[in-house]
Structure 1
Amino acid sequence: MASTFNSIAEITKEKETWKLRVRCERVWFKFMKSQPDVRTALEICFLDEEGDKIQAIVPKWRISKLENIIKEGSFYQLENFEILPNNDEYAPTKHPFVLKFHEYTVVKPSEILNIPRYIFNFVNFSELAIDADDYSLRVFDVIAEVYGMDELVKFDRDGCQMMRIKAHLRNLSGESIDCTLWNEFAIQMAEYWNNKKGDPVVIILQHAMVKKWGAYVNLQNSLFASKLIINDDLEDIDSYVKSLKENPIQSSVSNLSRVDSSRRSASEIDEFPAELEFKSLADLDSINEECSCIVYCKILNIQTNQNWYYNACNKCYRKVNEQNDKFWCYHCKICPDGVIARYRVHVRVEDNGCTTSFVLFDHQVSRIIGKKAADLKQALEVAGESESFPDELELLVKKSYLFKLDINAYTLRQRQRVYTVSKLTDDPSVISKWCNICQDDKSTVSSVGDSAKCSDLTPTSKKRLAIDSDDEPFARELRKTIRSLISSISLLAVSDQSPTSNLNDAPPPVPQPLKLFHVQFSSAFWKTFPLGPDSHQLYSVIYCSNAIHVAIFFRFAFLDG
């Protein structure tokens, strides 16, 4: 009896005995975030003769059976699979369901079918500029000419060598947009660009993503699913090159990425050098030596437990002390003939549920507010509100900035650290140099690369949750809770010893790999989590790939990855 095949469009969750004839358009691996060498799934995008697409997931225990069978561009017959809802925010297909392969799934090579190698979902630049918020939650395809290229940037992140490059793209209408490519994609693009000949360079970025900061829009590759195609022998590229030659684009292009190109100064970019390490707020309290680092976070509010200005010497601009109705400058060793109010604003900042305090100084605040501290102080005095904070400071709040922190010995000695900001910017062109570093891990398709090994991952915080991907909403909430407690935990020692050699009341044996942490909990922790009577007791933490056990008191699913 001849088999009757179904179309992808017919698939619903009503049954699991569908029979498909398809072509593999794209195949990629997913990797564990905390252990980037560990594969968690093989994922495939299939096409059928109707031009519809559906995503399939091969769980890790089936990867070895199928990884050498399923190849891009090949044809297959598929039978027997679970039907799951397509809930991924960054799903590579629009189909409401995904296929999950199991032990009895049939995957057989098929004869050549009338299915194209690719079916692209091209998006216009103007659509991305207008509807960036909508497109930021899904992947799409882009075709464009590369008309410029920045230098390849190499830097170290948590012991991993990272690379990124910014390509400047334009379409047939003359509109342009910036595109950040990471690691293997950056190498592929840089090598082609450096060896290009006279012909136009046209690329297709399949399963691209868009990121937006204010009005700044930037393209980038996704973590696992993207594919970069450069001047390949494809009908779409041939047609695009033909159009370029028939209708040359004017050299004057409208760049949809930039809000105000005058703000993009080389000096400001140089203030945030690529060799500095990016840190999340959760990372800061673990720093124990002087350094400079980059942080991207949002200012939540102005803190009123410290005054918003200080009185400065009008010669050296350092703080002066008031003595017997006079001011004394210890730096100049004189009583200056005048003092001036200068900004010193304490703010609370937030990043992925973790908060801390920064202090901003005059040159940073005045540039954003556009007014001098002395003028605001005088206006408050005239209004009889000299004890108040000026409303203009609210211009700093509810906005995200890139900060450069200079952490000195004084800061490291403080019990409750307040970090001094040496530079900050909200310039999109500067932020975009660090754009993927600043993203929360919301999805399996969140940044960089085909094979997400250590050298291929976008840098993120060291703190990770050992939660299965099916529990992502729970994981995000748990991550926020744990990060809010991390600031009250001080790591005193790290050991790879057997857990039972260090704990009298050791938890049950857990799978490898294991690490043992000795942890001191501060009094601030016990106020938040009153689990023990003595804030100076030393407890031990054992973690594996699925859990953490803190002595016999409580259990968290938090990994220091």
Structure 2
Amino acid sequence: MEQQMTLLCDIDPMMDDVKVLTRCIIIWKSHAAGKPNQPWGLDVVLQDPEGNRIQASIKLENMNKFLAVLDEGSCYRIGDFGVGENEGKFPLLNHHYKINFYQNTSVTRVIHFDQNLCGFKFEPFQNFTSNRFGSIDTVDKASVSNCLFSTKLYLNEDIPEIVAFKQRYSENDGEYEKNHAISLYSPMKKEVTIEEFFAGAIKKMVGSIRESGYEYEAIMYAKVQKIHRENGWTYTGCNIRQFLKFLND
């Protein structure tokens, strides 16, 4: 007889031998600020068929094992995991607990239990205009900011809910489908002229450098007369003190 699945909202640390049926909504690697190439673990947001969500954490030593199994948008039956407090100053979800994956945690891919591949949970529009969200709720608003590495942007994706929304909106007079697509802007490379580069600069000849009695930053614009092959494709350089000595000599 197949074991009954537990809803994510009912998960409790005191429960034994719990199995859950979930969809993997998003995956991201946790890391220290400014060190994206040094992850300390993997984090996942899971959502069950009732729309309940919970965050799951995977330690570094088990990260590669579960990265090979988990895919965003796929559904899984998960068991043999731990449950701990959802601590932290800025929790991603308002669930009291988090799931911790162990080395022996079982993750079995199953068929999709619904068509909500992205795991969206839609809020009434008036909640946005009135800002009726708790301090620990994570939502997408008009302004976008990174939320503990878990923010994800969808640009012109063919998401069924979005396609249906744009279809309803475009049925209004004066609205067209192209009005609801984000244009990807790729700026052209600008070539700066010599006049633009030296705009506002004070032009001096090389010989006048030694007449300066104070330190300052300078840009030298010159023509390379000779390349020393033994130094590779470079020309011999020196610091300003050596250069001034050369001029005096």
The TM-score range, normalised by the shorter chain, is 0.5 to 0.7
Residue identity opposite 1:120 in structure 2 = K
Contact 1:89–1:138 (CA under 8 A) maintained in structure 2: no
Deviation at 1:34, TM superposition (A): 5.7
For 2:95, the equivalent position in structure 1 comes to 95
Secondary structure of the structure 1 residue equivalent to 2:140: strand
User: In structure 2, how many angstroms separate the alpha carbons of the residues matched to 1:115 and 1:93?
Assistant: 23
User: What does 1:377-456 align with in structure 2 at a 5 Å threshold?
Assistant: none
Q: How many angstroms apart in 1 are the aligned matches of 2:77 and 2:47?
A: 12
Structure 2 CA distance for aligned equivalents of residues 20 and 140 of structure 1: 24
Q: Does 1:246 align with 2:171?
A: yes
Show CA shifts across 1:211-270 (max 9, x none). xxxxxxxx42324101111232223212331243233689xxxxxxxxxxxxxxxxxxxx
What CA deviation, in whole Å up to 9, does each residue of 1:104-163 have, x standing for no partner?
2111222332362122244644233xx68x54x542134xxxxxxxxxxxxxxxxxxxxx
* 2:93–2:137 contact (8 Å) kept in structure 1: no
CA distance in 1 between partners of 2:2 and 2:20 (Å): 14
Distance 1:239 1:114 in 2: 17
2:120 paired residue number? 119
SS in 1 for 2:6: coil
How far does residue 99 in structure 1 lie from its aligned partner after superposition? 0.1
Q: Equivalent residue for 1:237?
A: 162
Distance 1:5 1:48 in 2: 10
3-state SS of 1:119 partner: coil
Higher strand share: 1
**Structure 1 SS opposite 2:111:** coil
Contact 1:23/1:115 (CA < 8 Å) preserved in 2? no
Query: Which gives a bigger RCO, structure 1 or 2 (Cα 8 Å, sep 6+)?
Result: 2
Separation (CA, whole Å) in 2 of partners of 1:242 and 1:89:
40
Question: Which whole-Å CA distance do the structure 1 matches of 2:140 and 2:161 have between them?
Answer: 12
Counterparts of 1:12 and 1:102 in 2: how far apart (Å)? 17
Amino acid of the residue matched to residue 15 of structure 2? K
- Structure 2 equivalent of residue 49 of structure 1: 49
Q: Number of residue pairs matched?
A: 173
Q: How does 1:14-163 map to 2 (within 5 A)?
A: 14-33=14-33, 35-114=35-114, 116-117=116-117, 118-122=119-123, 124-128=127-131, 134-135=134-135, 137-142=136-141
Q: Secondary structure at the match of 2:73?
A: coil
Q: Which amino acid aligns with 1:44?
A: V
Q: Contact 2:94/2:137 (CA < 8 Å) preserved in 1?
A: no
The partner residue of 2:149 within 202, 206, 224 is 224
Q: Could you state the TM-score of these two structures normalised by the residue count of structure 1?
A: 0.29
Equivalence map 1:468-547=2 (5 Å): none
Question: 1:58 deviation in Å?
Answer: 0.6
Q: Could you tell me whether the CA contact under 8 Å between 2:51 and 2:121 is conserved in 1?
A: no
Letter in 2 for 1:100: N
Q: Give the counterpart letter for 1:140 in structure 2.
A: V
- Whether the aligned pair in 2 keeps the contact of 1:41 and 1:58 (CA below 8 Å) is yes
Deviation at 1:73, TM superposition (A): 1.0
1:10 is aligned to 2:10 = yes
Contact 1:16 1:82 in 2 (8 A): no
The residue type equivalent to 1:127 in the other structure is S
Deviations 1:456-492 (A, max 9, x none): xxxxxxxxxxxxxxxxxxxxxxxxxxxxxxxxxxxxx
Structure 2 CA distance for aligned equivalents of residues 30 and 249 of structure 1: 45
- SS of the aligned residue for 2:154 comes to strand
Counterpart secondary structure, 1:227: coil
Paired position in structure 2 for 1:470: none
Query: Whole-Å Cα distance in 2 between the matches of residues 98 and 248 of structure 1?
Result: 47
**Residues 1:236 and 1:248: Cα distance change in structure 2 (over 3 Å):** farther
Q: Any gaps of 5 or more consecutive residues in structure 1? A: 143-176, 180-218, 251-408, 410-561
TM-score by length of 2: 0.61
Structure 1 pair 126–31 and aligned structure 2 pair: CA distance change class (3 A):
same
Larger radius of gyration: 2
Between the aligned partners of 1:109 and 1:50, the Cα distance in structure 2 is 18
Query: Partners of 1:64 and 1:91 in 2: how far apart?
Result: 25
Q: Match of 1:57, SS?
A: strand
